[in-house]
Amino acid sequence: MHPVLVRIGYFGPRILMVLSLIVSMSHKMVIIGIILGSSINYMINSTLKKIIKEPRPSRTYHYVSSDLTEKTRSASELGTQSYGMPSGHSQNVWFYTSFMYFTFRNMYITLLFMGVAITTSIQRVAYLNHTSKQVVVGCVIGILFGYTMTKIMAKLVPYIKNTAIFHTFDARKVYW
């Protein structure tokens, strides 16, 4: 796999979080939805890993360090993250992708997000950090939760947008 794609795959959740916040800059409620949804999504993933306890396919965990070099370490050093079901990277990138799709319905944003999400999903399997099944389950959970989060935010907007903090909320291009 090309080194640039490896890094996009490894940092996919962070890339999509930043892109989500940039795209949503003028939509305060969408930003709240991204931050709240991301936090809940992380808790769902951690809880499922502790319940399912399915190990990663390899005893060696491949990652990209802060200096952007590829490194490995023993999966046993990861604590509860030594479990691979469902893939957290996959779950997160597909959460952002579906949340942004159901919020804005913009083809260009969706295609960009899908490109990063697909790259991340492939990278997780190619580097043996997850099995295909772990990645697919992460995808499904992420997509379903992204959709669910848009529905939750649609219900909350009427209550929150009238508060003083969110008085300037602009819902022109949000499909809630």
- The tens digit of pLDDT for each residue in 104-145 reads 888 999 999 999 999 999 998 988 888 999 999 999 999 999
pLDDT of residue 54 exceeding 90, the answer is no
Look up residue 67 and give its amino acid: D
pLDDT band at 95 (very low <50, low <70, confident <90, very high): very high
Instruction: Give me 8's structure tokens.
Output: 């996009």
pLDDT of residue 166 exceeding 50, the answer is no
pLDDT band at 5 (very low <50, low <70, confident <90, very high): confident
pLDDT of residue 56 exceeding 70, the answer is yes
Instruction: Give me 67's structure tokens.
Output: 């200096």
Quote the CA–CA distance of 102 and 91 in Å, as a whole number: 16
pLDDT of residue 164 exceeding 70, the answer is no
pLDDT of residue 93 exceeding 90, the answer is yes
pLDDT band at 165 (very low <50, low <70, confident <90, very high): very low
Residue among 84, 79, 114, 85 at smallest CA distance from 99: 114
Q: What's residue 10's pLDDT?
A: 83
A 10 A CB-CB count for 176 gives 17
